[in-house]
Structures are given as structure tokens and as C-alpha cells.
Amino acid sequence: MDIRSRTDIILIVKKVLTLRNFVHTLERKYQEMQAEINAFKLKFPTLQSNGLPSLLTSSGKLLTHDQYVNRVNTYVFDQVTASSSSTEEIGPPSGQNLYDKLENLFYIEDEINHLF
């Protein structure tokens, strides 16, 4: 093998072993992340079946957090507007009336907290 310096060879072997361990750790973390991503993707149908906005764009890409917050806020505004325009009561809302208007929003918040 023509080994001239044992110290250099030992250092090279240590580097190779360290890099191999890094690669194995990276592969393991990738597999763990992929499993979590797949579990998260399985929650999409549940989210949409409960009436919440989709997490995907029209092109099938995942929305950013800010985009999804805007989409949820728009959805909530539409829900509040629809519920306030459909009530016959005019005047200050009672506690039960206010709860009835916001009941769907509580449900949305609970579903989002449960999902994430």
C-alpha cells in the first residue's frame, strides 16, 4: 500500500468515518422528515372535509404560512358576513346570539389547532 505516514492515514480514515456517520445521520433524518410530511399530507382530506380552506394553491403547491393565514381570514370574514346577514335580529347581540355567530369560528380554530 506504500504507507509513508501512519498519522496521515489515520487522519484520513477518521475523516472518512466521520463523513460516513454524517451521511447516515442525514439519511435517517430525511426518512423521519419524509414520514412526517406524508402524515401531514394525509391530513389534507380531513381538513377539507371539515370545510376549512385548502392548504394547496391551484397549481398543487403548498401555501406559505402568510398565504394560508390570509385565506383563513378571508374564509372567516365570509362566514361572519354570511351569518350576520342571515339573522333577523337587529340590535345588540346577546351572549347566545354572539356565540351562535362565532361557533363556526371556534370550530375552525379547534380544527386548525388539532391538525397542527
35 plus 76 within the same structural domain: no
33 plus 77 within the same structural domain: no
62 plus 107 within the same structural domain: yes
59 plus 89 within the same structural domain: yes
From its phi and psi, is residue 2 left (phi > 0), alpha (psi between -120 and 50) or beta? left
Query: How much is the average pLDDT of 67-96?
Result: 69
Query: How much is the average pLDDT of 39-58?
Result: 77
Does the pLDDT at position 25 exceed 60? yes
Does the pLDDT at position 83 exceed 90? no
Q: Is residue 47 part of a domain?
A: no
Structural domains counted in the chain: 2
Distance CA 55, CA 41 (A): 10
Stated pTM of the model: 0.45
pLDDT at 27: 95
107 plus 59 within the same structural domain: yes
pLDDT at 20: 96
Residue 69 C-alpha cell reads as: 393565514
pLDDT at 33: 92
Residue span of the structural domain in which 21 resides: 1-42
62 plus 95 within the same structural domain: yes
101 plus 70 within the same structural domain: yes
Q: 103 vs 4, 75, 89, 98, 116, CA distance in Å?
A: 78, 14, 17, 8, 20
C-beta of residue 55 within 8 angstroms of C-beta of residue 62: yes
Distance CA 70, CA 45 (A): 20
Q: Which tops the pLDDT comparison, 35 or 75?
A: 35
Distance CA 43, CA 96 (A): 32
113 plus 86 within the same structural domain: yes
